[in-house]
Chain A
Amino acid sequence: MIRRRWGQVLGMLRGLSVTFRVLFRPPVTTTYPDEKTRVEERFKGRHWLTRYADGLERCIGCELCVIVCPSQAIFVQAAENTPEHQVSRGERYAADFQINMLRCIFCGFCEEACPTGAIVLGHDYELAGYTRASMIYTKPMLTEPYPGAGGRDPHREI
């Protein structure tokens, strides 16, 4: 009888030892949204259309991301560069580029398929919106405002 009670006390103390051990460690919870969680280097979040260091867009409107996308989230309409209106290197550029963020599953296939390294998945994960229309990211929203803004080296070669 006493033996049994002693066993119960021991078990309780063993369990409480975990509580006391953790009680004095720093907490793992963060006060999101006041404080943002750090993500890993290869985290796949919001897309960016990157630029070369000279400011020309990397995207050539080839639509390989469109065909590889498993959730058919991307729309691209290509057009032809002219000397007066040189958007990307070479003959072709994307006149329109849209990603439906409601459809995107962040698999990163578009980044893998991209022959020029134009589309990259960045670290931004705050992608909620109040309307469906606001979840269709358009080309001005996707294109990085200055070379390297998307977090990738604008000098990198693919």
Chain B
Amino acid sequence: MAEPPATVTLTIDGRAVTVARGTTVWHAAEQAGIDIPIFCYLDRMPPLGACRQCFVRVEKMARLQTSCTLVAEEGMVVSASTPDVRGAQERNLEFLLINHPLDCPICDKGGECPLQDQTFAYGSGRSRFVELKRDFAKPVSLGSVLVLDRERCILCWRCVRFGEIVAGDDALKGFERGFQTEINTPFTQPVRSKFIGNTISICPVGALTSRTYRFQARPWDNDAVPSVCNHCGLGCTVWLDVRDQTVARVRPRETPDLNDIWLCDLGQFGFEWLHAKDRLTRPLVRKNGQLVETTWDEALDLVAARLAESRQRGAGRVGVLGGARLTNEDNFLLRRVFREIVGTPHLDHRLDARPGSASLQVAWGLRGPLAAIPESSLLLLVGCDITEEYPIAWLRMKQAVDHGAQLYAIHPKPLEIHRFITGRLIHSPGAEGVVLAQIANAVRGQKPDAKVLQEAGVDPAVVAGLVARLRAAARPMVFIGKNALEGPAGTTVLHAAQRLQAAGCMIHIMRGKGNAVGAALMGVLPGPGGWTAPEMIQQAARGALDVLYVLGGDPATEVGDAHAWAAAREHTPLVVVHDLFLTATGRDADVVLPALTYAEKHGTVCNLEGRVQQIEAAVRGPAGARGDGAILLELAARLGAEWSYGGWEEIFADARAAVPGLEIGAFRTPPPLQGDWPANGALPARSADLVLITGEVLFDRGSMTARSPAIADLAGPPSVWVHPADAASRGLVDGALAQLSVGAAGLVLRARLTEEVPPGRVYVPRGYDAVPVNRLLSWDQPLVTVSLRAIDAAAAAGPGSEVAP
């Protein structure tokens, strides 16, 4: 039988339109430039035909047809603007408006509302409905960020289907029947999702609105400035809507091969810190043990003098930590100032790495574009909590799963997305290297050792299934996360991953926040003879450094061993910090310089794909604060350099000369894994005590997120996750205060009883600055065993403990 032709030609409003076979009539009309009104259909999801707005007349078909669900066929004759079609569209709008409250003047969607626009374009301008409208209590709060107005809802189902099809979290659902149908969460509980902000942007009416943006501005008040989110490392493109020098909201900026039209809730609602009242505005210098406000000249003169002094004492007595929050241009200047003028090789942006950890031995980033993930038929997550660390990447993985891809996760605890995971490989802490090595061996033909796998805590049958699929898979991908790289088996994981790479897997190193990849590209890495960040901290503790220069980072809470940082601080005569707020590091520093955020700077940044993107300054920032690049240029001038840069473009031009291939829009994809990593086949010793595992969470209370009320609220209080069995034996109940101790160090946290953590382990989310978990961790001991006990609230303030808020 002959193949049907790949295209069909149909007639719409008298115009011949040729489209690919399988295209719907609505899309065919769109391609021909014919506008058909629509509400329920969104081209990221399959058509539904719920709103009945897109009616067209098709010759030889009995009734009017919904064009979004109708597939175009050869020779179809469609009319989209005849009086009967226009009449049907007009009557449908009248029906939709019967129950719509028409409270546009108080509705946040007013001015950017598809229902308003289409009523204006296609409606009759009058209503024959004189009876009482449907009445719901409104507005209804659904958690920290979402406000629901059921009267405005036209039941298009976009938000419900977003949760089912795109995010996979089923956050919103339809309840009741007929006239009483409503969108809601079960029992109107706070919505549980990491992507709920997207339902606000796709809602065609004002039924779902944002709590942070509530009544803040009208669309005509805002200037939209293109920028790039700098929370996780994926660099999603955003619009910063600015009203009167204030960012009123953040919206996704469509980039089909990056974040598409989506954004996670941290990106969408985590921006209020930009305008926090306690942003630093004056330089601080320590005098007589106190940090006191001073002038820029005095602070910069002091820092420059001390840097020059150190330079005279010999090269390499200055260390630089941080850079992931800066732009490429700032990082380029950072490298130039400290390598060329100060003459130190000790620069590193990887603050949170352990000495000798695998993270320090591999280039971070995705080895292929994010948009290629849905083409893969097998995805393996190794120590990578994807929804917590890189949520937008999860949306791509969800697409792959919908296309039939298999998802496996090697992790010490179950993941939030467990119902999409084909095979769970929940291993005992520290055993990820052994498990991955067994898998790599099996893919290359060796038989996996069932006994070893069982000892590591994983099911050999699941491993066998994974191995069989890995051999047959198209474009298999392995995502190695921070948990695996920073764990005791990091190099074993890399060793195994390299062998999987040889067997055809693409290996992604999912590591780095903000512009970490850009910092690495610009050379904020140890030079010849230079120390890595943890080595710098260890050396500083021995008094080897005169100056520690910290930019846009908070080592006091980020370094994986609080005692190591404290020792470094104590034995370094001068610690200089650039930051937005007085962080834990800043409070102990000698000089604190107020810096600007990504929303206040022009420049470029790189994401985990190595994609170079431009950002624009949206607001001026607090008077008195200066950009990191500007501060570094001032220092350079004081140290005798005669540089003149007329703007970020000139710095970027210099950076391009130094880094080939650096162009806006270009990709600087990191090379495939190549290295000689030692493998260790031994399993860590089993412990009778509770093993502490930590991990990144999307919503936390760090220096920025704690100042974003919506995010701090979503994060909740600092908690320790305990399996109910472990809790019962210790007399802990859900929500009670618990003391977690390692030796003399202790933290007081709220117990969260959950089966999302296996027995014998406790999980503590990182990123809560008030309760820094790194006080319990130690670089010498990759696996920490802890004791956990219930305490009463009165004892919480006792010595050696931190009080939970």
Contact = CB atoms under 8 A, between A and B. Distances in A.
Contact of A80 (B103, B104, B110, B215): B215
B139 interface: yes
A78 B105 contact: no
Interface in B75-130: 103-106, 110-111
Given A78-B215, A79-B215, A92 B106 contact: yes
B215 A64 contact: no
B173 interface: no
A61 B218 CA distance: 10
Given A78-B215, A92-B215, A62 B105 contact: yes
Q: Give the size category of A's interface with B.
A: 10 to 19
Interface in B583-632: none
Contacts of A64: 105
Contacts of A66: 218, 220-221
Interface string B349-368: 00000000000000000000
B469 interface: no
Nearest to A114: B105
A148 B287 CA distance: 62
Nearest to B218: A63
Given A79-B215, A80-B214, A62 B106 contact: yes
Interface in B217-248: 218, 220-221
Contacts of B104: 62
A94 to B, nearest CB: 10
A116 B103 CA distance: 11
A9 B172 CA distance: 98
A115 interface: yes
A33 interface: no
Interface residues of B, number: 13
Contacts of A90: 103, 106
Interface string B190-221: 00000000000000000000000011101011
A127 to B, nearest CB: 25
A128 to B, nearest CB: 28
Given A79-B215, A80-B215, A60 B221 contact: no
By secondary structure, the B interface counts as: loop
A91 interface: yes
Interface in A79-118: 79-80, 90-92, 115-116
Contacts of A141: none
Given A62-B110, A91-B139, A115 B218 contact: no
Nearest to A78: B215
A134 to B, nearest CB: 22
Contact of B215 (A61, A67, A116): A61
Contacts of B216: 78
A133 to B, nearest CB: 18
Contact of B218 (A60, A67, A91): A67
Interface in B132-150: 139
Interface string A50-83: 0000000000111110110000000000111000
B106 A63 contact: no
A115 B105 CA distance: 7
Nearest to A61: B215
A25 to B, nearest CB: 52
Contact of A63 (B103, B139, B214, B221): B221
Nearest to B243: A77
Contacts of A61: 106, 215
B105 A67 contact: no
Most buried by A among B139, B214, B215: B215
Contacts of B215: 61, 78-80, 91-92
Interface in B254-307: none
B514 to A, nearest CB: 32
A72 to B, nearest CB: 11
Contact of A116 (B105, B111, B139, B214): B105
A61 B104 CA distance: 12
Contact of A60 (B105, B139, B214, B220): B105
Nearest to A79: B215
A122 B260 CA distance: 51
A77 to B, nearest CB: 8
A80 B213 CA distance: 11
B234 to A, nearest CB: 33
B106 A67 contact: no
A91 B106 contact: yes
Contacts of A92: 105-106, 215
Contacts of B214: 80
Contacts of B139: 91
A60 B220 CA distance: 17
Contacts of A115: 105
Nearest to B106: A92
Most buried by A among B106, B110, B218: B106
A60 B106 CA distance: 7
Contacts of B110: 62
A91 B106 CA distance: 7
Contacts of B218: 63, 66-67
Contacts of B106: 60-62, 90-92
A67 B104 CA distance: 14
A19 B105 CA distance: 59
A92 B107 CA distance: 9
A63 B106 CA distance: 9
A56 to B, nearest CB: 14
Contacts of B105: 60, 62, 64, 92, 115-116
Nearest to A116: B105
A100 B110 CA distance: 25
Nearest to B111: A67
A7 to B, nearest CB: 69
Contacts of A91: 106, 139, 215
B140 to A, nearest CB: 12
A153 B491 CA distance: 81
A92 B110 CA distance: 13
Contacts of A60: 105-106
Contacts of A116: 105
Most buried by B among A61, A62, A66: A62
B692 to A, nearest CB: 43
A110 B104 CA distance: 17
Nearest to A89: B106
A41 to B, nearest CB: 27
B744 to A, nearest CB: 48
Contacts of A63: 218, 220-221
B137 to A, nearest CB: 12
Contacts of A62: 104-106, 110
Nearest to B139: A91
A90 to B, nearest CB: 6
In the A-B complex, the 9 residue pairs with the closest CB atoms: A62-B105, A78-B215, A92-B106, A63-B218, A115-B105, A67-B220, A60-B106, A92-B215, A91-B106
Interface of A: 60-64, 66-67, 78-80, 90-92, 115-116
Given A62-B106, A67-B111, A78-B216, 14 more contacts: A60-B105, A60-B106, A61-B106, A61-B215, A62-B105, A62-B110, A66-B220, A66-B221, A90-B103, A91-B106, A92-B105, A92-B215, A115-B105, A116-B105
28 contacts: A60-B106, A61-B106, A61-B215, A62-B104, A62-B105, A62-B106, A62-B110, A63-B220, A63-B221, A64-B105, A66-B218, A66-B220, A66-B221, A67-B111, A67-B220, A78-B215, A78-B216, A79-B215, A80-B214, A80-B215, A90-B103, A90-B106, A91-B106, A91-B139, A91-B215, A92-B215, A115-B105, A116-B105
